[in-house]
Amino acid sequence: MASQANPVPFQKLPSVDQVLRTETAKLAVERFGRPLVVTSVRDSLGAAREAIRARGGAACSTDDIAVKAVAQLETASLPKVRPVFNLTGTVLHTNLGRALLAEEAIDAAVTAMRHALALEYDLDGGKRGERDSLIRQLLIDLTGAEDVTVVNNNAAAVLLALNTFANGREGVVSRGELIEIGGAFRMPDIMKRAGTHIVEVGTTNRTHFSDYAGAIRPETGLLLKVHTSNYRIEGFTREVPASALAPLAGEHGIPLVNDLGSGTLVDLSQYGLSREPTVANAVAEGADIVTFSGDKLLGGPQAGFIAGRADLIARINKNPMKRAMRVDKIRLAAIEATLRLYLDPERIAQRLPTLRLLSRPRDAIEALAYDLASAVTDATGDGFSVEVVPCSSQIGSGSLPQETIASAGIAIRPTDPKAGGHVVAGLAAAFRALPVPVIGRIADQAFILDLRCLEDEAGFRRNLGQLRLEGGA
Ligand SMILES: *Cc1c(COP(=O)(O)O)cnc(C)c1O
């Protein structure tokens, strides 16, 4: 009997219906709905059949199948968009979602999601309105520009400005400013897609006023100035400031577009960071159009702002492409609430997470590191040593690329000095596998957690209790 072609255990596997009648499966149906549970039970039965075929193993019980099916469903139903602990030391980490919103902005966004809004509706006149008008005046007050408009992100702002003023015409730009931001945004490609013929002037390291002046001809649509936000050219260099280009553009009746990238609304030097020109400075310098991001130093949701001369903003608003780049009500609400925080400069560094994290004193971060070190030691076990170390945080998102901010953190390294890099990589993977994944950095054969952005200490401790190291700690 044992040598039959069809081995007995297959027949001992329960049917899908039998599994669905278990208590475990019934509870799962209430949580996830019947179709997902049925699919997961089928998958589990298939896997059990496969295991029996491969190893001739014993049949699984009905309960085993149900438990496996539900465990698999639980893992699969974790949201893909979920929080992580950003302990990379980069405050505005593009891959981790950049700026965290202020509570005021979060509340405003939630309200906007839940209710009908006067989004494009003029409450005074009772007729149709403009969505931009909800935040226009705030932006005018904060930037000093004649008018401002808002689109999906700064990449869209640049594309729209170029397309409005130089579609089928020439855009003059320095060879030292043809930037790439994170692969997908390359200025020459954006210019081409905007329909702008690129006229490169100067050299990589030096561009002179006469280079711009000599390139202007009847086909020129605009002068473009780009903030080289994620690198510095040092040594024998020269660039022409926007303040010098503005009169040149004016003389020829073409706009000077200044892409600031990050663009801050406040002087960062008051928070111990180096001074970076504000949007208001760029407007005052005479740029006709200034573009900047919403979710970099400004500390709001993803958005792109275009500030400048009223007649030019009017032309931008008439460009049909703008409709394809508009922001939704949720973000508009969050933008308004974020901008309002700037009206109270004394408290903004506490209320706006980006500024709060960037200005967090090193000593406070170090004290937190000492507080947490023993919990990290307990969680990682004998195989690792834990040490409080100085760290250098970065702003991120291309803001002040050379600038690092003194910070502190925890370095975890294998106690065995001969342990290979895979041990550290395995440790980093175990932290990423936590219920709230912890993202750190690997450097000097250690896994390093820069604690600048850790505000939820209790949540971090709870999470750490779930750490499972390969081979057991
Ligand atoms: C970041 C950046 C952009 C792109 O802005 P997004 O808001 O990410 O679309 C464009 N130009 C410069 C100079 C930048 O730094």
- Over residues 331-357, the pLDDT tens digits come to 999 999 999 999 999 999 999 999 999
Least confident range of 22-36, 100-114, 172-186, 246-260: 172-186
Nearest atom in ligand 1 to the alpha carbon of residue 158 is 10
Q: What is the pLDDT of residue 19?
A: 96
Mean pLDDT within 396-417:
88
| pLDDT the model gives residue 453 | 98
pLDDT of residue 145: 98
Q: What is the pLDDT of residue 3?
A: 45
H or E segment to which residue 394 belongs = strand 384-396
pLDDT score of 10: 65
pLDDT category of residue 183 using cuts at 50, 70 and 90: low
Q: Does any ligand 1 atom lie closer than 6 A to the CB of residue 300?
A: no
- Own/partner contacts of 96-99, CB < 8 Å, gap of 24 or more, are 96/439, 98/295, 98/296, 98/302, 98/396, 98/397, 99/294, 99/295, 99/296, 99/298, 99/299, 99/300, 99/301, 99/353, 99/354
- pLDDT for residue 468 is more than 50: yes
Given this model, what pLDDT does residue 4 score?
47
Counting from 1 in the atom list of ligand 1, the atom nearest the Cα of 94 is: 8
Q: Residue with the nearest Cα to atom 15 of ligand 1?
A: 261
366 lines ligand 1 (CB under 6 A): no
C-alpha to C-alpha distance for 325 and 319, rounded to whole angstroms: 11
d(CA 169, CA 164): 10
Q: What residue owns the CA closest to ligand 1's atom 7?
A: 154
Token representation of residue 436 = 């709230």
Q: Which has more confidence, 55 or 153?
A: 153
Burial of 137: CB neighbours in 10 Å, binned 0-12, 13-18, 19+: exposed
Counting from 1 in the atom list of ligand 1, the atom nearest the Cα of 228 is: 13
Q: What is the mean pLDDT of residues 182-192?
A: 88
Closest ligand 1 atom number to CA of residue 227: 13
Q: Which percentage of the chain shows pLDDT scores above 70?
A: 96
Phi, psi at 238, each rounded to 5°: -160, 130
Distance from the CA of 304 to the center of ligand 1, in angstroms?
A: 9
- In this prediction, residues 372-387 reach a mean pLDDT of 97
What is the domain partition of the chain in residue ranges?
A: 2-77, 85-93+356-464, 103-351
Mean pLDDT calculated for residue range 101-115:
98
Q: What is the pLDDT of residue 263?
A: 86
Confidence of residue 129 (pLDDT cuts 50, 70, 90): confident
Cβ of 181 below 6 Å from ligand 1: yes
Ligand 1 pocket: which of 90, 153, 154 to mutate (most atoms within 8 A of CB): 154
For residue 1, what pLDDT is reported? Answer: 43
Instruction: Please identify, by atom number, the ligand 1 atom nearest to the C-alpha of residue 302.
Output: 7
pLDDT of residue 259: 97
User: What is the C-alpha end-to-end distance of the chain, expressed in Å?
Assistant: 47
Q: Is the pLDDT of residue 8 over 60?
A: no
Query: Which pTM does this prediction carry?
Result: 0.92
Beta carbon of 440 within 6 Å of any ligand 1 atom: no
- Which helix (H) or strand (E) segment is 463 a member of? helix 457-464
- Give residue 181's pLDDT: 82
Helices (runs of H) and strands (runs of E) counted in the chain: 19, 17
Q: Tokens in use for 40? A: 């997961």
pLDDT of 253-291, one tens digit each?
999 999 999 889 999 998 888 888 899 999 999 999 999
Percentage of the chain surpassing pLDDT 90? 82
Under CATH, which number does the domain 85-93+356-464 receive?
Answer: 3.90.1150.110
Substitution candidate for ligand 1 out of 151, 159, 177, 181 with most atoms within 8 A of CB: 181
Q: Does ligand 1 have an atom closer than 6 angstroms to the CB of 281?
A: no
Say yes or no: CB of residue 155 within 6 Å of ligand 1.
yes
Q: Which of 454, 357, 401, 405 is nearest to 86 (CA)?
A: 454
CA 180 to ligand 1 center in whole angstroms:
9
- The CATH architecture one would assign to domain 103-351 is 3-Layer(aba) Sandwich (3.40)
Q: Is 262's C-beta closer than 6 angstroms to any atom of ligand 1?
A: yes
Average pLDDT rounded to a whole number, residues 378-382: 96
pLDDT in tens, 194-249: 999 999 999 999 999 999 999 999 999 999 999 987 777 888 899 999 999 999 99
pLDDT level of residue 251 (50, 70, 90 thresholds): very high
The mean pLDDT value of the chain amounts to 93
Average pLDDT over residues 126-153: 95
Give the model's pLDDT for residue 323: 95
Cβ(398) – ligand 1 distance below 6 Å = yes
pLDDT tens readout for residues 431-440 = 999 999 999 9
